[in-house]
A and B are shown apart, each in its own frame.
Chain A
């Protein structure tokens, strides 16, 4: 899934997303407090995050932001981590231009499909297995004997 689908291009859309996210947090709390069954029946959560503020200039880097948890209860809210803009260049006489505001929430931690979870971005060690090289003809999954 293309992550750019979830990018927010301006602050008003970002604000809307954050408001929805806040409501969703309340929804999560309500769900948790009312559900005393240990079965994993609570709504799934995703992280949401607002865009980082741009740097104020004079070489100050924009801040990073990382949102809290929220629910994806069917409304399709999506959020994510965002990095603050890079700091402005230091100029001798004047402060540099403020860093560009971080991009709005991108998604993230909560894919919509099983394969999305299996192929989610990861810093974990991995070891690709090449079916063609290792299995040859058997890679075509012939009929069982």
Chain B
């Protein structure tokens, strides 16, 4: 994920501004440049909201259409990416309210370790996938801060801007969400402590 967001945000400002001016001047085709540059981040962001590839593309497409229609409303006070992400978050939130994705209570989220999983890599992938899906089982008010915090590479300020919330509020919700996830998957903390301990020991031996 790191690459997708960073790559899109670097050196795109001028190109975005030029394309936006052309679109506002009546050249709809110029919007292609914007879609080309931002399709990766928006599809990935949508994916984190629903964990369904087809749905993620539908949501991202809807966000692009809204952005195209509302381009004149971007006041250029914030960066284009901030505006686009906030608009997309709004679209995803609204669309998923109408047709929800997974809406399980957290205690119904699957267990990370399946008996049928044989290989370590597959086991880890399966476990990670379960943890990521469990985010969608969080209560609504905690779910989105988690999605956006990790989408923005653990940048509280960026996540808060996208949600239109004060940073303190976002931090509080994030903290609560992380506590809920920790209580649902307590063995992950044990595992993390073991890994840290092993890393420290390895360092000492070296």
User: Does A associate with B in a complex?
Assistant: no
Binding site for B on A (CB under 8 A): none
B→A interface (CB under 8 Å): none
